[in-house]
């Protein structure tokens, strides 16, 4: 008989229900509030903040019919007026393949329309429809709460300084593949 070091061998054995094993696995990986990584501490804290922001955004977007990525696309189009799928993918940090699905979903919802680019016959530009602009305004109103929450917590000078720090981090760590 070989020794097993998995969670199943430690708790509940093979007879434990899948639900119990899943629950125990989740408890085993829950973050200890006192945990501090000894390497890459700042990226760890950035990731924690990003995940907290993502959870907040998910909660605020519930009921809007939009995902964070879809909101990112319609927000970009609200400011850019029109853009190709490749431009949008770079702007909202998704792969070109993922952008295909986002564009298709938004087009099916009636939030965007696509037309041949004036620049090149091979490029298809996306534009917001009036329904897409209305969806962007509704979602923006809900997501504005994160800005309000953070500006209540931090002074304007801190927000500006932190934004500059984040830009420096992005520029410092921007390594070409």
CA gap 65, 4 in Å, rounded: 45
The per-residue pLDDT for 12 is: 47
| Count of the separate structural domains present in the chain | 1
* pTM across the whole model: 0.72
- Does 48 fall in a domain? no
- Does 170 fall in a domain? yes
Domain containing residue 119: 67-177
- Does 2 fall in a domain? no
- Does 44 fall in a domain? no
The per-residue pLDDT for 53 is: 92
The per-residue pLDDT for 25 is: 55
Distances (CA, A) of 157 to 26, 65, 147, 149, 151: 40, 35, 15, 16, 10
- CB contact burial 155-164 (16+ within 10 A = b; e otherwise): eeeeeeeeee
Place of tokens 């520029």: 171
The per-residue pLDDT for 31 is: 54
The per-residue pLDDT for 17 is: 66
- Does 42 fall in a domain? no
- Does 90 fall in a domain? yes
* Low-confidence spans in the chain with pLDDT less than 50: 1-13, 177
- Does 30 fall in a domain? no
CATH of the domain at 159: 1.10.10.10
């Amino acid at each position: 008989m070989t020794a097993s070091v998995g969670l199943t061998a430690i708790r509940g054995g093979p007879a434990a229900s899948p639900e119990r094993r899943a629950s125990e696995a989740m408890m085993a990986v829950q973050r200890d509030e006192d945990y501090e990584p000894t390497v890459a501490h700042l990226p760890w804290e950035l990731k924690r903040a990003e995940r907290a922001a993502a959870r907040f955004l998910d909660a605020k977007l519930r009921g809007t019919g939009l995902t964070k990525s879809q909101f990112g696309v319609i927000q970009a189009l609200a400011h850019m007026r029109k853009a190709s799928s490749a431009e949008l993918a770079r702007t909202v940090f998704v792969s070109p393949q993922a952008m295909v699905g986002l564009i298709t979903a938004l087009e099916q919802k009636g939030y965007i329309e696509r037309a041949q680019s004036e620049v090149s016959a091979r490029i298809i530009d996306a534009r917001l429809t009036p329904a897409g602009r209305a969806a962007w305004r509704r979602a923006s109103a809900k997501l504005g709460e994160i800005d309000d929450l953070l500006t209540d917590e931090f002074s304007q000078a801190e927000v500006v300084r932190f934004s500059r720090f984040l830009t420096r981090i992005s520029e410092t760590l921007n390594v070409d593949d």
